Amino acid sequence: MSTPNKTERALVVLSGGQDSTTCLYWAIQRFGRDAVEAVTFDYGQRHRVELTAARHIAQMAGVRQTVLPIDTFGAMGGNALTAADIEPEQGARDDADTALPNTFVPGRNLVFLTFAAALAWQKGMEHVVTGVAQTDYSGYPDCRENTLKALELAIRLGMDSRVQLHAPLMFMSKAETVKLAQQVGAMEALAYSHTCYNGAVPPCGVCASCELRAKGFLEAGVADPLVVRTGAGA
């Protein structure tokens, strides 16, 4: 990846989770704090703690945050992240399971990145950063590299733009993302991140997201700062 021009700026899609927080600090290291902003989407998610986490992390990082309301996903429902009557699947998924989990929100990343690119266009920003990864992506097709490449092309054509979509974690395991978080100085902020599918604080420890996160920190040999801060499992 080429070294960015000092005048280039980046917009980070910040959900308040582990991956997007790591990417925010990656962008700060790469582009400089003054050249980075965050965008968070209020998409009707049932666990509003995500929005609180994103706001707090943006403040900790010292970057400007824009919150965009897009409640269509909540209106459609049909998944465990927006519908109150659907409980998230528990535990890690079997590699042989090809069915999409009920935490998949169809079209979410496509819409997020399109809106983020539109906001970046309005702000004259050249880069959009997202925390998606196809290595540990729970079967979500909109987290794959080929999806992002196709979307980037469509955005460039549709907006007459040269925006670049960056996914620094695309081929990293969760353990590798933990090590990257250490390298870019994101560990303190990760103590306030939220990834639990059940919306629990302290994290529930049993949903697929909690198990994946715990596995990553265990394999990296690093204590999860969120678990330390909240006393989870104590």
- pLDDT tens digits, one per residue of 213-234: 999 999 999 999 999 999 865 5
In the annotated binding site for Zn(2+), the residues are: 196, 204, 207, 210
- DSSP code of residue 186: -
How many residues make up the chain in this entry?
234
* pLDDT value of position 79: 55
CB atoms closer than 10 angstroms to residue 234? 7
Distance of CA 144 to the CA centre of its chain: 14
Q: What global pTM score does this model have?
A: 0.88
Average pLDDT of span 17-32: 97
Nearest of 110, 96, 172, 176 to residue 141 by alpha carbon = 110
Cβ atoms of 145 and 167 within 8 Å: the answer is yes
Give the integer Cα–Cα distance in Å for 206 and 210. Answer: 6
Nearest of 170, 166, 209, 189 to residue 22 by alpha carbon = 189
User: CA dihedral defined by 15, 215, 88, 43, rounded to 10 degrees?
Assistant: 10
Would you state the structure tokens that stand for residue 80, as one six-digit string?
Answer: 């465990």
The architecture of the domain spanning 10-230 is: 3-Layer(aba) Sandwich (3.40)
- DSSP code of residue 36: E
* pLDDT value of position 43: 82
| Annotated domain spans of the chain | 10-230
Cβ atoms of 141 and 101 within 8 Å: the answer is no
Give the integer Cα–Cα distance in Å for 85 and 78. Answer: 9
Average pLDDT of span 117-134: 95
Helices 208-220 & 174-184 angle (0-180, nearest 10): 60
Q: Tell me: the pLDDT tens digits for 79-121?
A: 555 555 556 665 555 554 566 666 566 678 898 999 999 999 9
In the annotated binding site, the residues are: 14-24, 196, 204, 207, 210
In the annotated binding site for ATP, the residues are: 14-24
Would you state the structure tokens that stand for residue 192, as one six-digit string?
Answer: 């306030």
